[in-house]
Every structure is written in C-alpha cells, then in structure tokens.
Amino acid sequence: MPAPNASKHLPLVSIIVRTVDRPYYLRECLTSLLVQDYPNIEIIIVNDGGESVSALVEELGLPFRHQLIELKENRGRSECGNIGLDHASGKYIGFIDDDDIFYSFHISTLVYKLINSNYKVVYSDGLQARQIKCPFNDKMYSTVELTLVLSEEFDFQDLLTRNYIPILCALFDRCCIEEGIRFDTSMDVLEDWDFWIRIARHYDFAHLKQITCEYRYRSDGSNTVGQLDHVWEWCRNHIKHKYSILRKGRVNMELAS
C-alpha cells in the first residue's frame, strides 16, 4: 500500500457509482472502495430517485473526497452516468454499479498501466458472480458460483458486433470525454457498449489479463434492469443501426481480403 502522503503525487481517480434502492449492495460496493490500495480517489454516488442513502454514506465515513447526488425522480442509467461524468474531476474515470465490487488492487492495477503506456483506456478481467437468495433472508443474496466469462483482447471490429468489456473493468483518461462523448440517453441498457464504441473510434484500448473485480448476476430479474427482453432487443437494434456504416466497412474489408 502506498504511503499516505503519496496521494498528492498520484493522479486523481474518479469512480462513479450509480445506485437505486439497494442499500445492502451499495454498502458492499462502497466498502470495496474503502479498501483500495490506491490512495487518491474521488467517489461520485448518483442515487437515481431512490430512498436517500445519505445516512449510509455518512456511517461508512469515506476517508477520501466524495459527492452524493440524490435525484428527486428516476432518470435512468444513461442520464445518471452522464451526471456522474459531469461531476468527475479526476485525471482518470471509472464506473461501478451498486451491486458490484472492486478487489483491493483494482484501481492501482489499471492506473499503473495507464501511467506507464500511451493508452487512454485500459480494462481488466472481471468474474461473473452468480447469486441466489439467501435461505435465511429473502432480501439478501449469496454468491454460489464465480466464472470468468470474458477475457478478450481489444478489437474495434469485434466491439461493433458485441460488448465484451464490462463497465466496471475499465478506467479511462478524461481526455476521452472532453469532446462531449456521453451515454446515449435513449438507451436503458447496453449504454456502456455504445459508450465504448464512441470512445474506441478515437482511441485503442489496452487489455490486462488480470482479474480485478466482480460483477453480480441474479437470474430472478433483480439486477438493475431486470429481464425486460424487449428493452434489450430495442437497444441492440439501436446500436446495430447507429453503427451500420462502420460494420459495412468491415464487411467490405473482409470481401476484399
């Protein structure tokens, strides 16, 4: 762990946490930020119209700078992400949803790669944690299986057809959003996929084959967006149409070869 006074010599990292009505998970998520071995962190918590979490945040006593933005009404994942981006002041920026966790070395690992390379975006591997309801408390869940589902090298053409970068796995330089790149507010899911495509049109991504975080999956539909199949289908088609010209370029290149 770096010495406490080392933080002033290290770039500030802003982590944006989107949350709504899941205080149990939010506590775990924020606790995983408390134990990071990287000392210069800023946390932006965006509460999307849910019950106030100010008491929870105060109770945790976050030792680093943090902002709690509590919206009066639900605005959706994309708009919450944009609000977080607009409030982030760090050199590097990352996201984590309230039901996911970072391992203690997550931020330091990604920052080290960014500092020691010319890349503006770096992403690691994350484990998918399958969860079921606890038998003794139906409001809580237990992890029953951990699986490495995605661990793939960056390829822009592949990114046009599928999203293989979980949002919590990535950290990016703020220059990536200085030209106005934000989340597409017409999308309720897969907004991160669209966001990565927009950034990847300008910058290559670096992949670290190291597991540094964990994202939770629950088959009962209690994830952030549940199991609204029609919403997922609409967003997939939206992205497909939005970047159809880029995909046509890929087809043309394949035909030429």
pLDDT (tens, 9 = 90+) of the chain, 257 residues, equals 444 445 668 999 999 999 999 898 899 999 999 999 999 999 999 999 999 999 999 999 888 899 999 999 999 999 999 999 999 999 999 999 999 999 999 999 999 999 999 999 999 999 998 877 777 776 677 777 888 989 999 999 999 999 999 999 999 999 999 889 999 999 988 999 999 999 999 999 999 999 999 998 876 655 555 556 788 888 888 998 889 878 655 444 333 33
* C-beta atoms surrounding 38 within 10 Å: 24
pLDDT of residue 6: 54
pLDDT of residue 223: 58
Q: For residue 219, give the amino acid letter.
A: S
pLDDT of residue 133: 79
Q: Which of 130, 128, 100, 103 is nearest to 17 (CA)?
A: 100
pLDDT of residue 221: 59
pLDDT of residue 251: 41
pLDDT of residue 234: 87
- Burial class of 94 by CB neighbour count within 10 A (0 to 12, 13 to 18, 19+): buried
pLDDT of residue 156: 93
H helix or E strand, kind and range, residue 175: none
d(CA 114, CA 121): 7
Would you say 194 and 187 are in contact if contact means Cβ atoms under 8 Å apart? yes
Query: Could you tell me the CATH superfamily of domain 4-256?
Result: Spore Coat Polysaccharide Biosynthesis Protein SpsA; Chain A (3.90.550.10)
For 108, list phi and psi in degrees, rounded to 5. Answer: -60, -35
Sole residue written with tokens 């982590």: 15
pLDDT of residue 1: 43
pLDDT of residue 151: 94
Within 13 Å and on the Cβ side, how many CA atoms surround 29? 25
Would you say 57 and 133 are in contact if contact means Cβ atoms under 8 Å apart? no
CB neighbours of 162 closer than 8 A, spacing ≥ 6?
none
